[in-house]
Amino acid sequence: MSLHCDVLVVGGGGAGLRAAIAAAEARPGQRVVLVTKGALGRSGVTATACSDRMAFHAALPTTPPGGEASWRSHADDIYRIGGCVSDADLAVILARGGAEAFDYLDRLGVPWARRADGTPDQFHTDGSEYPRACYTGPHTANHIEEALVRRLRELPVRVIERHLVAELLCDAEHRRVVGAALVSEEDGHVIGVSAGAVVLATGGAGQCFGMNVFPPDCTGDGYALAYRAGAELVNLEFIQIGLCSVATHLACSGSMMRALPRVVNDRGEELLLRYLLGARGPLAGEGVHAVYDVLFSKGASWPVSIRDRSHVIDIAVAAEIAAGRRVYLDYGRDPQGLDLGSLSPWVRTWYAGEGHGLALDGSEARTPLGRLQAINPPSVAWLAERGIDLAAGNMVEIAPAVQHFQGGVKIRTAGDTTVPGLYAAGEVAGGQHGANRPGGNALLDGQVFGRIAGEAAARFAEGARSGEEVTDARAAEAVAALLTSTGQEAAAVWTTVRTTMARECGVHRTAAGLSRAADMLAEAERRGVRPDAAAPSRSIEALNALQCARLVVTAALQRDESRGPHLRFAAEDALSPVPQDDARWECYLVLYRGAQGPECERRAPIRPQGEA
């Protein structure tokens, strides 16, 4: 039962939905098919993400400083926070597209929070000069997904649920994408789909790491599909990582850190003074007050970044876990040596203002729990509902968790990749963010480039010559070629990928560790993955994750500086990362498939107008 369509969209999250809608709206007579691994509206990051106040970053007409300067300042922030290794023209497109994306979602019924005068309420996020973060509350992403699903159901878009796109098929002569092979998640049946153009919107690869905040279906499929099809990828060494509750996956940022809890191991020993003020510590000689100023600042800079001094907290936690111990936030009593009166003036000012007027000499401020109750009582209740009762003395176990892939399939201004007929949008795409991004830009990215990629794919499909037909037999042959009967079982491959990436490619990265990882992953891919008759798609997902991990490690090994969330260390026991080196490394790393696996080369990104 092979299928034919003009535009095939792979992924049912925010970017995929927007791409499918855009293609259908732009060319009403075209056949658009959307394939999702799970159930529409219930799988992927956009449908499942939640935080205390989830941000959709956009420069609106009412956003300061006003006028054209609003989106220009946003574009500047994107490029600057990205470490100057994004393509500046993509940053401009993303910033300029914010208002249109907001308005479109508004027309679809997304319930944006508004001020008394009716204008959208916006707040500051990390990496932003001005308050641009729009929101509905904790479920901003979910509301966006729901609105897009409603609109999609109004259009003649065919949705195929619970199928994995296992491989892209290309025209042998022109190397353009002509379709894909689909595998049923339920029975392993293979379907061939012929397509005039394909949009990848598969999200990130969080499941490559044991500790992550991604849903289970984010296995790096899009990166691997593009890589095997011959597309270039970029900036894959940059992966946002932040401290997270092990039990609930709650991001431990904001008030969780601003309450200044104790950070202890499973022996009850406090970590921060030992790691940060020791002889080799990054804050050695600065005094106890500096440690708690930095702990407080961690609340405003959740993902680890070389540009934020609070990365020393992540390093200390990661080092303790690497030593075989577990780490907790304890809100029962103050940490050793804390004197609230000695905190920096900017910290005390925050408590008096944004901290709901908490008086640091009052009874509420005597314990971390009291401070947390005063500045964010819903967080205390939320944890209690999930079995972590801070009032009863329960502690929050934490660990570094992967949150967002900054890089991906290299795109240009139409969302087009280096393979004709192949487009990408959302987290699977790369080049628009650089090493880091302002908080809230991920949701925006999926909407802006989802629309652009969907419209561009529809245009390409309209003018494309008929390609080779992707029959079911051809699709089945392509799927069979991915796996080998003598390979490892999928479960063993997953264990190799997750343990290797967690140990060698997390917060603490060294040349020796990354070299070990490269060797282990190369050997795993050489051995291959065995087909699993009981769960055919699981074997392909394992291969995808393995190839994605190799791409990440290849780039991380080559970049021997620190930039954004990529922290490189000179030695395995070092507590301070090597510095950012703009003279050598203000460039991005482009990856592509070579004869022996991933190959990597440096290239200069597209600079802002007026810069060399």
- Domain with residue 160: its CATH number is 3.50.50.60
Q: Is residue 169 part of a domain?
A: yes
Q: What is the CATH number of the domain that holds 492?
A: 1.20.58.100
Q: Is residue 99 part of a domain?
A: no
What pLDDT, on a 0 to 100 scale, did the predictor assign at position 154?
Answer: 98
Q: Is residue 71 part of a domain?
A: no
Domain with 545, as residue range(s), is 483-586
| Residue range 64-90: mean pLDDT, rounded | 97
Both 349 and 414 in one domain: the answer is: no
What pLDDT, on a 0 to 100 scale, did the predictor assign at position 612?
Answer: 59
H/E run at residue 489 = none
Strand partners for 177: 170
pTM given for the model:
0.96
Domain boundary among 441, 475, 509: 475
What is the C-alpha separation between 560 and 104, in angstroms, rounded?
Answer: 42
Both 329 and 396 in one domain: the answer is: yes
Start-to-end Cα distance in the chain: 54
What is the C-alpha separation between 268 and 259, in angstroms, rounded?
Answer: 19
Q: Is residue 337 part of a domain?
A: yes
Both 341 and 368 in one domain: the answer is: yes
Both 295 and 421 in one domain: the answer is: no
Q: Is residue 225 part of a domain?
A: yes
Both 212 and 302 in one domain: the answer is: no
Which amino acid does the sequence have at 549? A
What pLDDT, on a 0 to 100 scale, did the predictor assign at position 172?
Answer: 81
What is the C-alpha separation between 314 and 507, in angstroms, rounded?
Answer: 7
Count of structural domains within the chain: 3
Both 220 and 160 in one domain: the answer is: yes
Domain boundary among 375, 401, 427: 401
Which of the pair, 610 or 71, is modelled with greater confidence? Answer: 71
Both 142 and 34 in one domain: the answer is: yes
Which amino acid does the sequence have at 579? P
Both 387 and 436 in one domain: the answer is: no
Q: Is residue 435 part of a domain?
A: yes
pLDDT averaged over every residue in the chain? 96
pLDDT single digits (tens) 370-406:
999 999 898 999 999 999 999 999 999 999 999 999 9
Distance of CA 137 to the CA centre of its chain: 20
pLDDT band at 463 (very low <50, low <70, confident <90, very high): confident
Three-class SS state of 263: strand
Name which of 108, 115, 119, 117 is nearest 147 in CA terms. 108
State the burial class of residue 325 (Cβ atoms within 10 Å of its Cβ: 0-12, 13-18, 19+).
middle
Number of CB atoms found within 10 A of residue 218's CB: 29
Both 567 and 543 in one domain: the answer is: yes
| Residue range 289-318: mean pLDDT, rounded | 95
Both 221 and 305 in one domain: the answer is: no
Both 42 and 178 in one domain: the answer is: yes
What is the C-alpha separation between 440 and 486, in angstroms, rounded?
Answer: 45
The percentage of residues in the chain with a pLDDT greater than 70, rounded to a whole number, is 99
H/E run at residue 382 = helix 377-385
CA dist list (Å): 151 to 5, 134, 200, 583: 20, 21, 20, 48
| Residue range 551-572: mean pLDDT, rounded | 98
pLDDT band at 536 (very low <50, low <70, confident <90, very high): confident
Packing angle between helix 377-385 and helix 368-375, nearest 10 degrees?
A: 110
| Residue range 92-119: mean pLDDT, rounded | 98
Residue 64 preceded by cis peptide, ω within 30: no
Q: Answer whether 83's CB lies under 8 Å from 434's CB.
A: yes
What is the C-alpha separation between 408 and 220, in angstroms, rounded?
Answer: 10
What pLDDT, on a 0 to 100 scale, did the predictor assign at position 445?
Answer: 98
pLDDT band at 361 (very low <50, low <70, confident <90, very high): confident
Which of the pair, 285 or 541, is modelled with greater confidence? Answer: 541
Q: Is residue 85 part of a domain?
A: no
Both 206 and 255 in one domain: the answer is: no
Residue found by looking up tokens 């392993």 in the block: 188
Q: Is residue 104 part of a domain?
A: no
